[in-house]
Structure formats: C-alpha cells, structure tokens
Amino acid sequence: MSSQNQFNVLHRFKGILFSAMSSEALLNSLDSFDAREDDVFLVSYPKSGTHWIAEVIENIPNAGITLTSPIEFGDISKFEELKMYSKRRVIPTHLSYDMLPMNIKQKQCKIIYIVRNPKDTAVSLFHYYKDNPNLPCIETWATFLELFLRGDVVYGSWFDHVLNWEEHENDKNILIIFYEEMKEDLFKSIKKIATFLGINVSDSEINKIARKTSFSEMKNNAAKINCDPNHTICALTSNRNLVFRKGAVGDWINYFTSKQKRVFDELFTEKMKHSELARHFEDYS
C-alpha cells in the first residue's frame, strides 16, 4: 500500500487515524456538540457489533427513537443536522471516551459500549479494509495484523480504546455488552439493553426482536435497505453490504498462524494485565 493511498483516505487527528469521512473540522468541533439528556450513544471499536445493537434498538416497539448517523461522520454541518431530530436520538460512534464531546459526559447521557474479542475484530477489520473504498487496501493479513498490533489502523489501538472505556465501566450511565454474549444469548442481551434504556418490553416482544435481529436476518435485510443513504450507522461507509460479513465467534483461528497468535497473546497479556474486561476473552483465545 502506497503512503499516498493511505494519505488520501486516512488522516491523523490527535495521533489517531481517522477516515476522510470524518473531517478534521468536525473532529476539532466535537466539544461544541449540544447533547440532550435523553440521548443514547452506541459506542465500539470498529467491527465490534454497533450495527447489531442498533438493529436491536430499532426493533424495540414504541421505543420512540431515531437512529442517526455517527457523530463523527461528515463535516461541520453535522451538529445542525442532529438538531433536526425531534425524537430521542440514538447516536453511534467509534470515538474513545476521552474524545467524546464534553457535553455528553456532563449530562450523563446513556452509553452502550460493545466489546468483541480482539482477534475476531482484527480479522473482521482486515476484510473491511479490503472491501471498503474509504479505507486503504492492505493486501495481506500479515501486513494488516502488524498495523493492528501497532494501533496504526483507523480509530487507533484496540487495546487503548477498550482500556480507555473500561476506566468508566462503573459509571451508572454506561452499559458494557460483549459481542460473544449476544451470540450466545440474544434474548438476555436484548432484555439488558431495553432495561438500561428504561423501555418496557414483554418476553414475547423480545423473542420477536431476537428473531428479526439474528445475524442471518440482518445480512439478508442489508441489501434491501442499502439504497437508503440516511441509514448509515458506520462512520466508515454507507454501504450496508460491507457491514455484515460472517459475524462468527472464533473465526480468527482460520487466519492466525501459531507465531502470530503467540505475538498477539504476548501483547494482549502485557497491555491488558490490569483489565477486568480482558478476562472475558480467555474462553475465546
């Protein structure tokens, strides 16, 4: 990959790589965002399940919400656009906690943070880089993995992102959801999300939402609503067909060599040694 290619589609802001879809002017103005007390933020490192949670929330009956495009997606007109929504806003983002607009923290808006096994996240992001014209094309998995481990990918280091959010895991306005737990028990995860948002949902409604938001259903539906440019949940593309690839847990095993796994595990152990969240991934490593 030529540095010219990387330069065209990515830029650095405060040391972190961002897609050109997030203008520097917008990133510079994040603290001028005016949050509402009932705003909900869906946060994750890329390729960790933001779309999935968004689909779940959108399928909750009578939730009275509007799903917006990501807060960092676009240019300086973004905040004016967000003001137009009259319903309760559900706003996705891949920003770290430290970069989140100050107003969101002051008003203690509800935040759902989704975490996924970093090995599966890396594989998923590799495919995303290959298929997405808004990201540099990195030909080989080995090259991409080196960049991922260095944090030289869009939104920076997975480790730093998760650790930054984990510092706030006990804040009462933050709910942490694990991708793997959603795969194992979608009913339980939906119930947890609805309760956190203060929305009453019956068990039969939860079962219906679980059916509609199974991975295969969402993948089938992606093509149908791909023509709607307003339905952009990702700050890296508006093409929903790129979003749902496999959604598998443990697919990393088909990509990592034993040496790559060792290098990854050593870095994981070093970076995440004080992390409670990291223990969750021991079953998937």
Between 139 and 227, the more confident residue is 139
Is pLDDT of 227 > 50?
no
Residue 163 domain flag: yes
Residue 184 domain flag: yes
Which residue is catalytic, options 11, 51, 94, 127? 94
User: What is the reported pLDDT for 87?
Assistant: 95
Residue 98 domain flag: yes
Residue 127 backbone dihedrals phi, psi, to 5 degrees: -65, -35
pTM: 0.89
User: What's the rounded Cα separation, in Å, for the pair 65 and 87?
Assistant: 5
280 — pLDDT class (breaks 50, 70, 90) = confident
User: What is the reported pLDDT for 51?
Assistant: 87
Cα atoms in the Cβ-side hemisphere of radius 13 Å centred on 194: 24
Residue 231 falls in the annotated catalytic set: no
Domain that holds residue 219: 22-117+155-245
Cα of 85 vs its chain's centroid, Å: 22
Residue 1 domain flag: no
Mean pLDDT of 97-123: 97
Mean pLDDT of 68-93: 95
**pLDDT tens by residue, 146-200:** 999 999 999 999 999 999 999 999 999 999 999 999 999 999 999 999 999 999 9
Residue 17 domain flag: no
Give alpha helix (H) positions in 132-246: 141-150, 158-166, 179-184, 186-197, 203-212, 215-224
CATH number where 216 lies: 3.40.50.300
Residue 148 domain flag: no
Lowest mean pLDDT among 21-30, 89-98, 181-190, 227-236: 227-236
Is pLDDT of 1 > 50?
no
User: What is the reported pLDDT for 255?
Assistant: 92
Residue 265 domain flag: no
**pLDDT tens by residue, 233-278:** 554 555 545 444 555 677 899 999 999 999 999 999 999 999 999 9
User: What is the reported pLDDT for 137?
Assistant: 85
Between 215 and 146, the more confident residue is 146
Is pLDDT of 201 > 90?
yes
Residue 86 domain flag: yes
Is pLDDT of 225 > 80?
no
**pLDDT tens by residue, 35-62:** 999 999 999 999 999 988 999 999 999 8
Residue 12 backbone dihedrals phi, psi, to 5 degrees: -95, 135
Tokens of 134: 């808004």
Farthest-apart Cα atoms in the chain, separation: 53
Considering its fold, how many domains does the chain have in total? 1
